[in-house]
Amino acid sequence: MSGVGGWKSVEDGWQAVDDLICATLLGDDPALAACLERSRAAGLPDIAVSAPQGRLLELLATVTGTRRVLEVGTLGGFSTIFLARGVGGGGRVTTLELIPEYAAIARESLAAAGVDDRVEVIVGPALDSLARLAGPIDLTFLDADKVNNCAYVDHAVRLSRPGALILVDNVVREGNVVAPDPSDESAVGTRRLYDHVRDHPRLAGTAIQTVGAKGWDGLMILRVLD
Ligand code: DHB
Ligand code: MG
């Protein structure tokens, strides 16, 4: 027994609480359920944000009055749906995906969720796509490969309006980020991001550790200074 809840493992407790959050605060959401099922059926990796995390993305977009979102790493479009809801009908989400098959799945789910009119999915290496994009962006969500996170942040700063938010997924990775194994390129890339942000004259913010259905991880939340 672990903790006060009597679950077999602490992870079971995290899952049970996420289930409670979904059942009470998020409610049934057929479009999101269909998105996950479509991704699963197509064999996409099960690495999308959790629904509670997705709702946080939506909420942050909404409370900041965000109209333009940049997402790096579309995967099956699960987080994209939340972001598209967050910007509302007059908003715009540009989302970048390396793998054409993933982008095709995402486009299906975005259309089924009724937000495809406000989302552009761009296929190709994100660094190439980013170099061709223009701002101003109000909110960026970085959730692609972790090796290029510093470069993605630099592009995001360049494209951001002053005061914009930059959110980075997976910045804790079960604590691996503290002293990454040199062979773990993702953890090394994420660890480098902390120093990069510390040394960046136009970035300030924090990172929040999270537990839940997706394990122990975290979200970096940065503000682009004037
Ligand atoms: C991985 C990537 C993610 O963006 C995530 O949220 C979880 C895992 C991965 O590459 O393993
Ligand atoms: Mg992620």
Average pLDDT, the chain: 97
Per-residue pLDDT tens digits for 204-223: 999 999 999 999 999 999 99
- How far is 82 from 115, CA to CA, in rounded Å? 10
Which position has the token pair 């909420």?
A: 59
Per-residue pLDDT tens digits for 69-79: 999 999 999 99
**Sheet of 137-142, strand order:** 119-123, 92-97, 68-72, 137-142, 160-169, 217-224, 203-210
The pLDDT-based confidence of 5 (bands split at 50, 70, 90) is confident
- Which residue's alpha carbon is at the smallest distance from atom 2 of ligand 1? 47
- Of 112, 111, 118, nearest to 95 by C-alpha is 118
Pocket flag, ligand 1, residue 94 (CB < 6 Å): no
pTM: 0.97
Which residue stretches of the chain are H helix? Answer: 10-21, 30-41, 51-63, 78-87, 100-112, 126-132, 149-159, 185-199
Which position has the token pair 């602490």?
A: 10
Q: Which residue has the higher pLDDT, 145 or 4?
A: 145
- Which residue's alpha carbon is at the smallest distance from atom 11 of ligand 1? 47
How far apart are the CA of 47 and the centre of ligand 1, in A? 5
Instruction: Report pLDDT for 4.
Output: 65
Pocket flag, ligand 1, residue 47 (CB < 6 Å): yes
Instruction: Report pLDDT for 83.
Output: 99
Strand partners, 95: 71, 121
Computed over its alpha carbons, how large is the radius of gyration of the chain? 17
CA distance readout (Å), 175 to 34, 143, 166, 207: 32, 18, 21, 13
- Which residue's alpha carbon is at the smallest distance from atom 10 of ligand 1? 145
Pocket flag, ligand 1, residue 143 (CB < 6 Å): yes
